[in-house]
Structure 1
Amino acid sequence: MRRTKVLAMVLGLGLGLAHLAGQEAPAVIHGDVLIPDTSLEAREDIGVRSHTNHLVLLRPGGGLGPGGGMTPMQIRDFYGLSATGGHDVIAIIDAFHYPTALNDFNTFSAMFGLPQETSTDPTAATNTVFQVVYQGGKKPRTNAGWALEAALDIEWAHALAPAAKIVLVEAQSNSNANLYAAVDLAVSLAGVKQVSMSWGGSESSGETANDTHFNVNGPAFFAASGDTGGKTIYPSTSPYVVAVGGTSVATDANGTFTGETGWSAGGGGNSPYEAKPSWQTAVSMTGSGRGVPDISSDADPNTGVAVYDTTSYHGRSGWWVVGGTSVSSPCLAGMVNLGGGTFTNTTQLLTTIYGSYLNPPAPPVFRDITSGNNGFPCLVGWDYVTGVGSPQGTGGF
């Protein structure tokens, strides 16, 4: 099976290639970064199945958390965020079953002083902090690669919006049909204000028909822009989804923020199928289609975040350091939730974001990132690496 994303990642990370054997499908190692098998795309997947966008750092990171992962306190500091707040519900869409979700969520929360779920039943509708819902009405089979993705998503949406309830909607598989059905289910759940999707796939000509899943009143949708520099993936290119790109942060010996650049492997570019939406018409870009990303935050695995997952993957479990735009999507969903803004739909949120960018208040609500490239250069103003930049507080939304 030809893995098209692997070839692109060689260009994006510029690192050597090796394979890991194991009971799971082969993962791929580039230097000290592991690409899980779930983050690899085969040609026959395009338009049919989606993949994750998370990467694992195999050496200690530079953060202050377990294994050198960035902590919630650090990410909040990088982006000027409160340590408390949040409201209603954030829905996380992932595929397959994550059997240790409740225990892992609570262990992560205990480590960083976040609210824990007191119920012992992850599926109980009465849960107030964390709940699991099955698309299709039955428990999906377990997939360890997707479980690590889900751990990242639920823990980091919670980290940035501690008072919001997190609901993990588990699709029966990573087929687009099941994932979109899970999206529809999330929309129907009471109180859902944000939906995060850290998955996607190469664009295809039929994708616009799927925009109807996101062009709805209710929650705002967020999706990872992908982990292949200068490449676009769907659903982040949908005009009814906030496309979240990636950056790399720098810190001093105390873990304090010292700078931020565009991440070399972050997805970006113009969609060949989706038209440029009205809220992007005033933005300077070279292409004529919908441009991505819209906004960005830390995604470089070298500056990855701490994640706790005990569903063993390739013989490993416990604390991980994880990067990729799979980090950015739930983080931005949490940031918007923390901001408390009420938006009728994603179009309204994107109109607000681009309005804040085009008519910036004082002080600015976005950090303009002007160094780094993903095949496209970071520029003064909007670019195909970081969009409008990274948040500075929640004033931009």
Structure 2
Amino acid sequence: MYRRVITVAAVVGAAIVAPTGTAEANAVPRAVCGAVGPTQARCFTEYVRAADAPEGWGATDLASAYRLPADAGPGDLVAISIAYDSPDLEADLNTYRTQYGLSPCTSASGCFRKVNQKGDAAPLPVADYGWGLESTLDVSMVSAACPSCRILVVEGNSPSFPDLAATEDAAVRLGAKIVTNSYGGRESGFSLSYAGSYQHPGVTTVVSSGDSGFTAASFPAVLPDAVAVGGTTLAKDTSGRGWAESAWAGAGSGCSAYVEKPLWQKDKSCRNRTVADVSAVAEGLSLYYDGSWGTVDGTSASAPFVAGLIARAGHAGTTSAATVYAGGAHFFDVTSGSNDGATGGAKCSGDYLCVAAAGYDAPTGVGTPDGLAGL
């Protein structure tokens, strides 16, 4: 069976189209838009277009792999900060939920809500194929982690840092105590000038660590209390858990050039803040989008999944990077795999900054959730 592969890296002003062309032309993952500028963020997703039937890890697999409880949780609100509109988002989400036996989450029931960066129901931003896929992945992963959670999607006019910061502020004004962000850009004085939008008191901010392996640190994942989520590769095995994990080759990790090392972070090779803090599966996730099933890779999957778990635990607004480090005994320690030179970039010469090891390592943080206790 031929598959068409698209790497989604959406930027402001870039035209993004649905996958087209022959199988041969799309055999290798490729970016569908231009380079990201210094005032913009990109979404962290690679998409493999597949057959009409679901493929990859679905919600039931994730519940098994991370030993999630039968109790669906308190039904807290999880907000998603994103760029552009996805017109079929609610319908695609509920196709995913139906496939995996989850109850509907609709605007009519009050479970699902979509607003613009001002917090208003209209007008919504223009639609965009790549960021629409990103939105769909976000709501699907929140649903897999927390079937009872309500979902608020706040859509920015563009992926510029000012517009994305506005979505974050709007989510908090509308009552969200946890906001997940599946995007990032290189940290700089400009991007850090919007740090306040990601540091609201009493709000948990969850951020993808990136999909370029060991490289320059990504904003807003580098912020002190943001829960920066790396990625793993998941596989079934014959262990007592029934699953094995290794560091995903693309999982983002790195050292901040600007943000001081928090007191609770004790690793030695980064003078400043180290990313990531925790991780979850970021490869081979099942997704329904644009009329068919496919699989996706990226920390754009792991971040909203972890955000949903935090909400399911009833800890939205109280969990931070510091509390995650304190819960280390409640995580699966990922001790194999590497993200060194994943995209032909920086090398860390076998250090924990790019190689999974016992205890803390940068690609996978303190590990992956074993139930909800560590969150």
Percent identity between matched residues is 32
Give, in angstroms, the shift of residue 77 of structure 1. Answer: 1.1
Match of 1:372 in 2: 337
Q: Structure 1 residues 132, 35: closer, same or farther in 2, change over 3 A?
A: farther
> Aligned partners of 1:69 and 1:236: how far apart in 2?
27
- Kept in 2, the 8 Å contact 1:276–1:288? The answer is yes
Q: CA deviation at 1:69?
A: 1.7
Match of 1:290 among 273, 286, 298: 273
- Verify: 1:53 aligned to 2:44, yes or no: yes
Q: Secondary structure at the match of 2:177?
A: strand
The answer (yes or no) to whether the contact 1:152–1:327 under 8 Å persists in 2 is: yes
- Mapping for residues 308-319 of structure 1, pairs under 5 Å: 308-310=288-290, 317-319=291-293
Q: Structure 1 pair 240/207, CA: closer, same or farther in 2 (3 Å)?
A: farther
2: CA distance between counterparts of 1:70 and 1:115?
Answer: 19
Give yes or no for the alignment of 1:69 onto 2:56: yes
1-side partners of 2:19 and 2:50: how far apart? 22
Paired residues of 1:97 and 1:142 also in contact (CA < 8 A) = yes
Report the 3-state secondary structure (helix = DSSP H, G, I; strand = E; otherwise coil) of the residue aligned with 2:194.
Answer: helix
- Relative to 1, partners in 2 of residues 1:206 and 1:119: Cα closer, same or farther, differing over 3 Å? closer
CA distance in 2, matches of 1:187, 1:240: 16
The CA distance in 1 between the partners of 2:269 and 2:320, in whole Å, is 24
Query: For 2:193, what is the secondary structure of its paired residue?
Result: helix
**How far is the alpha carbon of 1:23 from its aligned partner?**
4.7
Residue 125 (structure 2) aligns with: 140
Amino acid at match of 1:260: E
Question: How far, CA to CA, are the matches of 2:25 and 2:74 in structure 1?
Answer: 37
How big is each residue's C-alpha offset from its partner over 1:125-173, in whole Å with a ceiling of 9 and x where there is no partner? Answer: xx42111011144210010110000000011101211111011111111
1:278 aligned residue: 263
Residues 174-213 of structure 1: matches in 2 within 5 Å? 174-190=159-175, 192-213=176-197
Whether contact under 8 Å (1:51, 1:199) holds in the other structure is yes
Q: CA distance change for structure 1 residues 59 and 128 in 2, over 3 Å: closer, same or farther? A: closer
Match of 1:105 among 84, 87, 93: 93
Contact 1:268 1:384 in 2 (8 A): yes
Cα distance in structure 2, aligned partners of 1:226 and 1:391:
19
TM-score (norm 1): 0.79
Distance in 2 (alpha carbons) for counterparts of 1:377 and 1:119: 43
User: Residue 352 in 1 paired to residue 323 in 2?
Assistant: yes
Tell me the distance in 2 between the aligned counterparts of 1:170 and 1:82: 32
- Indicate the residue corresponding to 2:202 in structure 1: 218
Counterpart in the other structure of 1:129? 111
Q: CA RMSD in A?
A: 2.6
1:73/1:276 CA distance change after superposition, 3 Å = same
Return closer, same or farther for 1:356/1:68 CA change in 2, 3 Å cut-off.
same
- After TM superposition, give the deviation of residue 389 of structure 1 in Å: 0.8
| Cα distance in 2, alignment partners of residues 200 and 24 from structure 1 | 22
8 Å CA contact 1:97–1:170 kept in 2: the answer is yes
CA distance in 2 between counterparts of 1:206 and 1:337 reads 31
1:324 matches 2:298: yes
Q: Kindly indicate whether residue 311 of structure 2 is the aligned counterpart of residue 337 of structure 1.
A: yes
Counterpart-to-counterpart distance in 1, 2:374 and 2:25: 36
Contact 2:232 2:364 in 1 (8 A): yes
| Paired residue secondary structure (1:163) | coil
Residue 320 of structure 1 deviates from its aligned partner by: 1.6
Answer whether contact 1:110 1:116 (CA < 8 A) is retained.
yes
The whole-number CA distance in structure 2 between the counterparts of 1:22 and 1:135 is 21
Q: What CA distance in whole angstroms lies between the structure 2 residues aligned with 1:177 and 1:22?
A: 21
Given that 1:86 and 1:161 are in contact with CA atoms closer than 8 Å, whether structure 2 keeps it comes out as no
Kept in 2: contact 1:33–1:57 (CA 8 A): no
C-alpha spacing 1:319/1:379, structure 2 compared with 1 (3 Å): same
Pick from 212, 223, 245 the counterpart of residue 228 of structure 1.
212
Distance across 1 between alignment mates of 2:333 and 2:112:
35
Q: Which sits farther off after the overlay, 207-216 or 154-163?
A: 207-216
After alignment, is 128-137 or 219-228 more displaced?
Answer: 128-137
> Within 1, Cα distance between the matches of 2:317 and 2:202?
8
Residue 355 of structure 1: CA displacement? 1.4
